[in-house]
Structure 1
């Protein structure tokens, strides 16, 4: 039995669900997961670890770098090599390019254990990285036996950093779509839904001026918390759109499913997202999508004119026009929502796992 270990930063719900799926549906492999830390203070989600086997948590010192758009967390772990030695894997999935991964890669080189480099990052999300970060990517990519990307844009980044295109596989970032799938048939309202953090990176301050230029019966529901909440409320007041916006705070589970179901269109005006999983959650709920071109996963999720559109959030007039346009035809809105529901099935764990397993087979000689 081949023993493989995933090394990642924290137990996010979508990753934990995916790892548990692999363990259950590919019993011919023994999958382990090493987490650099237990969580981050800016992540409010609940994670159910009961179904995940072979989970290992490293003791880490956490450095938080406060940045303009979002905070950056760096884990400085203790015991990476010891934990790997105890597991004694045949293969390592090294997720991203952080200090934990650098130490793991060094261990793999020393022990002659192949590793697969896996990333969510894109050229857009990493456009401002420094020299040391670029060096770490070069070091890891030169030594990897294969590559897994979480999106088409992530694959492009790997190739740009020097990865061999023939060794690149895609395993889309996803959620357990069974938790979100719900058919919707009525789209008679005028409700936009945003789900995410209230931070500058997410671009709500770009959406508000556009909303102010749309027809007055279009409203916006905002689900999430963050440091920009008061500034956003003040901006809404100045624009005269306070009555058209609801701030609901952080919501998850069944109440969040209900909010998706009751909305008419999902909107993500982000300045930067390497994927944008909330788009997929909304698609599962049969919602048409208006996404920023800076959500790199949108180019895999949104088919222009079919289940939504991709916009430039900094072009206020064009942004407003797209919002008005998508609400102009109720029948077309319903058709786009049904397309979202159909397209979402391509991101099931069953489908997404294929890229991961193909990479594993490539490295172990089973391809």
Structure 2
């Protein structure tokens, strides 16, 4: 299955996710840009092993957002599934509008989101783009509430496990009470 995943920049934890996802499909990931201006240059993904990374050319509009009109050409090139990872960049909005107008089904993936007190215009803009999808991928209950608040159909929201933890980050066993106390004292954490 040919899958297109639209992303803004290749953050290391996202590239890890794409390398895993690419084991199960023919995955192409479009990136709007290579880096964000507010990130340390060392904060860069290691390698693109199990997917095709396609870096588009465009204009930076924010630290990690770009306008890349090339996204329309990429969408037209034909995919079995299209996933928009982040609906709020100019490139994503352009892609969503193109797919909506041409009745191309797509999913929106979200790994977070907090419902805020938006002004009416901002609320309707978010609702327009989020509700345009034919399905949604949610990383948890709060994200699902966020998506529903902005127009997603809860019956077409699919939860998926998303984490930035690696196996080596997970302790083999829980620390003892004495060890926790020693660490708290060392780190000067109040109890």
TM-score, with length taken from structure 1: 0.46
Cα separation, 2, equivalents of 1:38 and 1:132:
31
Name stretches of at least 5 consecutive residues in structure 1 with no aligned partner: 65-71, 193-217, 221-243, 245-264, 266-322, 325-367
Q: Is the 8 A contact 1:102 1:136 kept in 2?
A: no
Cα separation, 2, equivalents of 1:73 and 1:50:
19
Report the Cα offset of residue 115 of structure 1.
0.4
- Structure with bigger gyration radius: 1
| 1:190 matched residue in structure 2 | 182
Name stretches of at least 5 consecutive residues in structure 2 with no aligned partner: none
Report the Cα offset of residue 145 of structure 1.
0.9
**Correspondence for 2:31 among 11, 35, 44:** 35
Cα separation, 2, equivalents of 1:133 and 1:175:
30
Cα separation, 2, equivalents of 1:191 and 1:42:
32
1:129-176 CA deviation, whole Å, 9 max, x = no partner? 555543332112332111111221010111111211111111233125
Are 2:79 and 1:89 equivalent residues in the alignment? yes
Q: Per residue, is there more helix in 1 or in 2? A: 1
| 2:124 matched residue in structure 1 | 135
Cα separation, 2, equivalents of 1:34 and 1:157:
25
Question: Do the aligned partners of residues 6 and 219 (structure 1) sit closer, same or farther apart at CA in structure 2, a change above 3 Å counting?
Answer: same
Q: Is the 8 A contact 1:3 1:89 kept in 2?
A: yes
Aligned length: 185
1:306-342 CA deviation, whole Å, 9 max, x = no partner? xxxxxxxxxxxxxxxxx41xxxxxxxxxxxxxxxxxx
Cα separation, 2, equivalents of 1:50 and 1:164:
33
Give matches, 1:132-211, under 5 Å: 132-184=121-173, 185=175, 187=179, 189-192=181-184
| 1:356 matched residue in structure 2 | none
| 2:10 matched residue in structure 1 | 11
Cα separation, 1, equivalents of 2:122 and 2:49:
34
**Partner SS state of residue 108, structure 1:** helix
| 2:112 matched residue in structure 1 | 121
TM-score, with length taken from structure 2: 0.82
Report the Cα offset of residue 73 of structure 1.
4.1
Q: Is the 8 A contact 1:6 1:34 kept in 2?
A: yes
Q: Is the 8 A contact 2:8 2:64 kept in 1?
A: no
Q: Is the 8 A contact 1:18 1:176 kept in 2?
A: no
